[in-house]
Amino acid sequence: MSHQRVEERFKKLRRLMEGVPIHTFDVIVNSLFLLKHLNSEFARERQKVIEEYGEIFADDKDFYSDNAQCFLEKEARWSEIINLSLLNENLAFLLDQAFHTLERNNKHVKGVLKADYFTNSNFETKNLKAVMEEISKTYEEMEKSEFLVFFQDFLNLCAKARSESESRLEKNKLHTPIVIAKLLVALADPYEGNIYDPCCGTAGLLVEATKHVRKKKSTLDNVFFYGQELSEEMNQFARINQAINGCEFKLGDSVSTFSHDCWKDKQMDCIITNFPINQKKWKNYGDSGEGVGWQKIFGVISEERDGNWAWVAHIIDKLSEEGIATFLLPEKELDNLDAKRFRKELVEKDWIEAIILLPKRSIYEDVSYIAIVVINKDKQEKVLLRGNERITYRSREEQILYIDFSNEKNVTDEIVEQIINIFNSWRKEGFIENEFCQIIDCERIKKHTSYSLSPVAYSVTEGDSIKNLQQIEWLKNESKKIEKRLIQLFECEKRWEEKFKELVEEKEKELTEVSVT
């Protein structure tokens, strides 16, 4: 389903719930999408039981032992809820009862809804029925794989609408656009170990990371997903997202990552995140003694600064010795003089593997240019064994790859594929630079007065400088020739003007004499 159609469904549901605050709307709608999806999963499993054992065992939980999470008690079944509501049963009560039953039997649904949420929302039964009908219609139009993509886009719209309606929330970073999520995950290329998002929002990146690993290997053995999110509401959506996608995350409490790291005892092998860009008053979220681990990277960071480098410090501090991380960073941070000490630390430790420049306002309206930074603590030559695949990486020590797509209109699937191909090629022998990328030695950056990480500062080599000087000299000479010719033309034009003026005066004189005669 196209983004335009997702927006149409979002707007239609908003009209059906006109007057309902966005923070109530998105909880109701997304939880109903979850309920519908779980019912669909149960219907598929139920049909398998009927075909294998007969209809008499279709409602016996013991016959769902291979996929017990799919089994739904009658109280949680969509059709049962609708039928009972037609008998004048309280629909809101029936839905609260359904989620209570789900939480009791399905670990993924725990924490999705507060007790009696539908009843306490005071939403009219006829409107609630209309919403359920629309959700059912929308769901049944799609295959499961299409719905999962639709739901990520729908969550994005909910998060955006919520941030626009609540001034206390910064207007970015609640949910990462799908195309950017795919790019961040593919660059990190998670496969095993601890995978982490320190500010997971609706858990879109963790969902994408799970999909990525599933494509690479048949099971999720030795893979562990961790997330933490300050916003209680976003944590709620993360749990819905997890349940709909059948993922296994360990989501921390709704507390600040800076002051209360829920996974303090864990080192992460892969960190994929979209932290709150340019976050103001970030120290208000906690900078107590518990959160000093990340201060080992850059030391004390002034509360007058935004939170960008504090997040970078936390990411690096949490990475294992061979860990890799991908995150978004405003392009201003690549060259700002007051960020020199942070850049210097990254360059001196040789932690940066790549910087990818993205199109203008391709993600956030309030951030003009943004870059993806790839941090890698192990850029040495090595061989990876992934199943039957053997991957050899060359040494990229003391080098940084720059990929520049900033002149494009937006980030498309085609551009994502190009970036991934360039990045993967750069890690192997025989890499050749093209018009979209260049390799910069860390030595050049160390010689720069501000340790600039902007590719513009290194776009001209010494040989190119000589050529450019020759071209400038040639242009100066050509300019002088053109200037001389223009002067000549101007003087010629001036003479013609004077000649023309004389002719006009003579003609006027002749006409005057004839008139007198």
| Domain definitions of the chain by residue range | 3-144, 178-458, 460-517
User: Which residues lie across from 226 on neighbouring strands?
Assistant: 196, 250
Q: What top-level class would CATH report for the domain 178-458? A: alpha beta
Does 241 have pLDDT greater than 60?
Answer: yes
The overall average pLDDT reported for the chain is: 87
Q: Which stretches does DSSP call E strand in 210-265?
A: 223-227, 249-251
Stretch 302-325: mean pLDDT: 91
Q: How far apart are CA 46 and CA 40, in angstroms?
A: 10
pLDDT at 492: 82
Stretch 89-104: mean pLDDT: 92
Q: How far apart are CA 171 and CA 167, in angstroms?
A: 8
CA 282 to chain centre: 20
CA distances from 370 to 277, 364, 365, 408 (A): 10, 9, 11, 13
Does 100 have pLDDT greater than 80?
Answer: yes
Q: Spell out the residues 6+ positions from residue 201 whose beta carbon is closer than 8 angstroms to its own.
A: 159, 173, 174, 175, 176, 229, 231, 234, 237, 238, 274
Q: Which stretches does DSSP call E strand in 407-489?
A: 437-441
Token pair recorded at residue 357: 């420049």
In this prediction the pTM is: 0.84
Counting beta carbons within 10 angstroms of the beta carbon of residue 500, is it exposed (0 to 12), middle (13 to 18) or buried (19 or more)? exposed
Tokens 């729908």 correspond to what residue?
A: 154
Q: How far apart are CA 479 and CA 476, in angstroms?
A: 5
Token pair recorded at residue 458: 């290194």
CB 9 within 8 A of CB 138: yes
- The percentage of the chain sitting over the pLDDT mark of 90, rounded to a whole number, equals 54
Give the pLDDT confidence of 14-34 residue by residue, as tens digits.
999 988 888 899 999 999 999
pLDDT at 477: 64
Stretch 337-359: mean pLDDT: 95
Identify the helix (H) or strand (E) that includes residue 382.
strand 382-386
CB 28 within 8 A of CB 17: yes
Tokens 């949420």 correspond to what residue?
A: 117
Q: How far apart are CA 82 and CA 65, in angstroms?
A: 28
Tokens 């001209």 correspond to what residue?
A: 460
What DSSP assignment string belongs to 157-190?
HHHHHHHHH-TTS-SS-SS--HHHHHHHHHHH--
Identify the helix (H) or strand (E) that includes residue 355.
strand 352-357
Say which residue, 130 or 283, is predicted with more confidence: 130
Give the pLDDT confidence of 421-455 residue by residue, as tens digits.
999 999 999 898 888 999 999 999 999 999 999 98
- The percentage of the chain sitting over the pLDDT mark of 70, rounded to a whole number, equals 89
Measured at the alpha carbon of residue 471, what is the angle toward residues 467 and 475, in degrees to the nearest 5?
Answer: 170
Q: How far apart are CA 105 and CA 242, in angstroms?
A: 16
Does 474 have pLDDT greater than 80?
Answer: no
Say which residue, 318 or 475, is predicted with more confidence: 318
Q: Which amino acid appears at position 126 of this protein?
A: K
CB 156 within 8 A of CB 177: yes
Does 263 have pLDDT greater than 60?
Answer: yes
Topology of domain 3-144, per CATH? Ferritin (1.20.1260)
Does 151 have pLDDT greater than 50?
Answer: yes
pLDDT at 169: 46
Token pair recorded at residue 217: 């290997």
Strands 193-197 and 268-273, by their bridges, are: parallel
Token pair recorded at residue 515: 């008139």
Say which residue, 375 or 479, is predicted with more confidence: 375
Number of other residues whose CB lies within 10 A of the CB of residue 515: 7
pLDDT at 375: 98
CA 206 to chain centre: 11
Q: Residues 125, 128, 129, 130: what is their CA dihedral angle, to the nearest 10 degrees? A: 130
Q: Spell out the residues 6+ positions from residue 47 whose beta carbon is closer than 8 angstroms to its own.
A: none
CB 464 within 8 A of CB 422: no
Stretch 476-503: mean pLDDT: 77
